[in-house]
Amino acid sequence: MKNYQWNIAVMCLVTVTIIGAFSFIRATPHEYDRSIGSLHQIREMNISSSSDSKELTLSFAVAHGTKEAMKPTVEILDIESTPLYYGEKLKISNDSSQGKYVVAVNLYDTRLQEAAKHNLNIQGLKLSSENHIVKHIRAAYPADDSQMIIYIGCADKPIVEIDEDKNLLVVRITPSQEHRQE
Amino acid sequence: MNEGLRRRTAQLLIVFLLLSYIAIEVVAFAATSWQPQLKPTIIIPRQEWGAAPPYNMDLRDRTKGMGLIFHHTAHYFPELDYFKTAEEIKRVQDQHMNTEGYGDIGYHYIVDRAGRIWDGRSTNWTGAHSKGNNHNIGIVALGNYEGAWGIGAQNVTTGAFQAMERLSKWLVYQESLDDPFVYTHRQFNDTVCPGGNMNSLILLDLRLSIRNAMQPAVR
């Protein structure tokens, strides 16, 4: 191979390598929206229920900006005696339409993508409670710029199971009586 | 010595002792207290960034805090332009009030990448920036200093850091705060805020800068 041909080949190889390296370094999962920021982003929320029980499953599709897991914490609260966040304030709710018990899923460094805001917002989403335990779902934001709570209002005292997979957070809510029968 | 002279001498002695006492107190105060900081050159008022009026009924009176807590918006923002910065601050307020239901923007002051300081929530009100610690003044730097997957983290500009210094020194004096004066959000809550690129800058460099400013005025 002539000298100049060799030089051209090497230059092409180096250029391609540099572009490839640059692209690789800049690559992030395509579902993660850099313009929103934060470590984790909820892309959407799906609700599914079982036909032969009152169990309800909430599935949150998640995009990550870190290898760390979300590690949500869960509390089961009695709505009549426990204050909940409304805006930046804690208040005891007298709104029985939200259910007798509230499952509070606490999330950290998590923001919502646009598609998730439709169902998950501070106004809340009312669900028919005839076939399952959950009556109401809303997002709340404590007076902290990195925390978010998902309040899940339940008609009966629930049992909560949380599974966190790579890009999915699953919250399974079952009435405690149903759970005991199993 | 006649009675009048004795009385006058006694009065002079009392005046002299009183003046000496006052002089000693003044010198001691000057020697141990630090130079009072003038207000930072400019704090840009709320109307400049088009702030919406707060929902006062959602706000609570603020009690004295122990320090200043620093945050980042975790939202990539490279702009230096005045008007784009004003838009960004308005966006933060919109998110806090309309999406998150706060009474006002959660932070008391905002520092931008060009080194300007903007007025946020009134310091008469408790903030909404660090749960359990909102009686402390919250200061946010615009930008994302953590990034995603180890890349894209912004660096604190020199202008921004100098603005943090000016603002902090003034507030530490105003609020009579004690060492270590400044904190970061991650020290109190489970979060990466204010990002890896800003955290040590606050805890090491800014604290040192404030401590140095507190060296006795009289050596």
Most confidently predicted of A119-123, A152-156, B141-145: B141-145
Predicted pLDDT at B124: 92
Predicted pLDDT at A133: 86
Predicted pLDDT at A160: 94
Say yes or no to pLDDT of B218 above 50: no
d(CA A73, CA A57): 17
Cβ-based contacts of A89 with chain B (< 8 Å):
58, 60
Q: Using pLDDT thresholds of 50, 70 and 90, give the confidence band for residue A129.
A: low
Predicted pLDDT at B35: 52
The lowest-confidence range among B46-60, B87-101, B179-193, B203-217 is B203-217
Cβ-based contacts of B100 with chain A (< 8 Å):
87-88, 122, 141
A44 touches A167 (CB < 8 A): no
For range B58-72, the mean pLDDT? 89
For range B14-21, the mean pLDDT? 88
The residue that leads in pLDDT, A37 or B88, is: B88
Say yes or no to pLDDT of B137 above 70: yes
Residue A107's contacts (CB-CB under 8 Å, 6 or more residues apart) are A40, A70, A72, A147, A148, A149, A150
The residue that leads in pLDDT, B36 or B82, is: B82
Q: What is the ipTM of this complex?
A: 0.82
- In percent, the amount of chain A with pLDDT more than 90 equals 43
- In percent, the amount of chain A with pLDDT more than 70 equals 90
For range B65-94, the mean pLDDT? 95
B73 touches B143 (CB < 8 A): yes
Predicted pLDDT at B60: 85
Which of B76, B126, B191 has the CB atom closest to A37's CB atom? B76
DSSP B178-195: -TT-EEEGGGTSSS-TT-
Q: What is the mean pLDDT of chain B?
A: 89
For range B98-116, the mean pLDDT? 95
Are A34 and B103 an interchain contact pair (Cβ–Cβ within 8 Å)?
Answer: no
A3 three-class SS: helix
Say yes or no to pLDDT of A88 above 60: yes
The residue that leads in pLDDT, A128 or B105, is: B105
Say yes or no to pLDDT of B157 above 80: yes
d(CA B95, CA A111): 11
B82 touches B90 (CB < 8 A): no
Say yes or no to pLDDT of A81 above 50: yes
Residue of B nearest to A145 (CA): B129
pLDDT in tens, A157-182: 999 999 998 899 999 999 887 555 44
Are B192 and A28 an interchain contact pair (Cβ–Cβ within 8 Å)?
Answer: no
d(CA A88, CA B196): 27
For range B36-53, the mean pLDDT? 83
Which of A89, A109, A144 has the CB atom closest to B58's CB atom? A89
**Residue (of B214, B212, B78, B89) closest to B147 by Cα position:** B78
| Contacts within 8 Å (CB) and 24+ apart, A116-121 | A116/A42, A116/A43, A116/A44, A116/A45, A116/A60, A117/B99, A119/A44, A119/A45, A120/A42, A120/A45, A120/A150, A121/B99
B100 residue type, one letter? E
pLDDT in tens, B168-215: 999 998 888 888 999 999 999 999 999 999 999 999 999 999 998 876
Q: For an interface test with B, give the residue of A117, A145, A149, A151 to mutate (most B CBs within 10 A).
A: A145
The residue that leads in pLDDT, B138 or A54, is: B138
Helices (H), chain B: 3-32, 82-94, 158-175, 196-200, 207-213
